[in-house]
Structure 1
């Protein structure tokens, strides 16, 4: 498995519940770098976003030899007795210790704040992009749907459907099984890009990557894998909102 080198940081407006991509962290093997992306300007204009305390200036490039605390705090401590089980839930090698890889798969979501991360997918040897995510909204599903999720097999196909009459999010994309069980939602912070992928390439495939049986928490129950063929010059997460905001490279070394 290729290690993701880039993670995007997204922020949710606690009032509107809308997600904005606001930043990007990269790792070159020795140095971490964080920059705000142009999506942060939309977050400012529409939802009065304020810069994160760790990164107070929008126009600077922050660098560090250690992972920035705002990301490191989203990693489970290796000293926890359930750490190895957590790595298995993510379906990555048991000896994997790269924090970018772990964050890319887990999304780094915490109940105490409004941030999440997701990776910039890379092209594999077959000319495809792959994006992994855990199905959302399972705690709102009936017990029959949870039972069906527990019975899913790796590689089983899932079907996307646009729930345009959803009163909370008209862009909601739901996941269904072939036998018409509703098994959750795509993460809201990925919706804009998934719709963009669908516009460029209708050959978008979603499969079950892994089902973590009870008593695994519902937020880590159903791991999905989305695959899409490379078409023309289109690259996911390449629109302006994902591009660095800083035009002049004002570097600031981050001391941890």
Structure 2
């Protein structure tokens, strides 16, 4: 059996460290780019580093405040780019906001960003927690939104709007190699056969860096209210399993 030994690397990390993957959607081409990794280290310090070679992507743009692509940024406080995406402690509705995210009032910054995906109206950056690695099963587990629901059928959106898509429901993930926008595309279907959208492209970027073939499986983790926007309506627990010689 092949072994999933290494995550895509930037700076050195420890098992106790918390990591966020940072992506950006080019508003002109609508293409997503996996940019780099932010780490909250066990000693309370923070680092950010781009993935090697990301600047060669024609859709790449440097993040404001992180202009030097080969530098490892270090700080004793959370970088403003990230802290500005977390509701202030002074806001009276902060606890309500955290509750909607399924978090306690004392949730740590990286916990919050991993559940809110760092979304802001002002830009097109998106963050998600680095996947859990199961070495015994050669698999990765992501918590991510289903992308592209707004482009799907009225029937698919009704599944979500009228509560017919339930937490825990199995989702079918199908490779769409004839997709003209991205031959790596992985379409996501409900058990009814209605397409809900796609696996986020930054997940495909992450898996591609591993240099191994594999397949996806998924379940619904949460169906969010319409006030969260179509982009974050359906969250899924996505598992990628590396292909083995026996497969």
1:133 and 1:223 in contact (8 A); partners too? yes
CA distance 1:160–1:88, change in 2 (3 Å): farther
Q: Which of 10, 26, 30 pairs up with 1:17?
A: 30
Q: Which of 87, 108, 112 pairs up with 1:98?
A: 108
- Comparing 96-105 with 137-146, greater Cα deviation is found at 137-146
Q: Which has the higher contact order (CA 8 A, sep 6+)?
A: 1
Unaligned runs of 5+ in 1: 233-256
Deviation string 1:171-220 (CA, Å, 9 cap, x unpaired) is 33221112201122222222234567895444x32001111244543233
Look up the match of 2:188: 175
Look up the match of 2:117: 107
TM, length-normalised to structure 1: 0.73
Q: CA deviation at 1:146?
A: 1.9
2:34 and 2:205 in contact (8 A); partners too? no
CA distance 1:183–1:5, change in 2 (3 Å): same
Check if 1:68 corresponds to 2:79: yes
Check if 1:26 corresponds to 2:36: no
Once residues 143 and 4 of structure 1 are traced to their aligned partners in structure 2, the CA distance between those partners, rounded to angstroms, is 42
Look up the match of 2:7: none
Check if 1:226 corresponds to 2:225: no
1:113 is paired with a residue whose SS is coil
1:89 and 1:220 in contact (8 A); partners too? no
1:3 and 1:100 in contact (8 A); partners too? no
Look up the match of 1:137: 148
RMSD, matched Cα: 3.2
1:66 is paired with a residue whose SS is coil
Check if 1:211 corresponds to 2:204: no
Unaligned runs of 5+ in 2: 1-14
2:175 and 2:186 in contact (8 A); partners too? yes
CA distance 1:148–1:52, change in 2 (3 Å): closer
Check if 1:41 corresponds to 2:59: no
Q: How many residue pairs end up in the alignment?
A: 226
Q: CA deviation at 1:95?
A: 3.2
CA distance 1:187–1:114, change in 2 (3 Å): same
Q: CA deviation at 1:18?
A: 2.9
Q: CA deviation at 1:165?
A: 4.0
Look up the match of 1:187: 200
Once residues 134 and 185 of structure 1 are traced to their aligned partners in structure 2, the CA distance between those partners, rounded to angstroms, is 9
CA distance 1:82–1:164, change in 2 (3 Å): farther
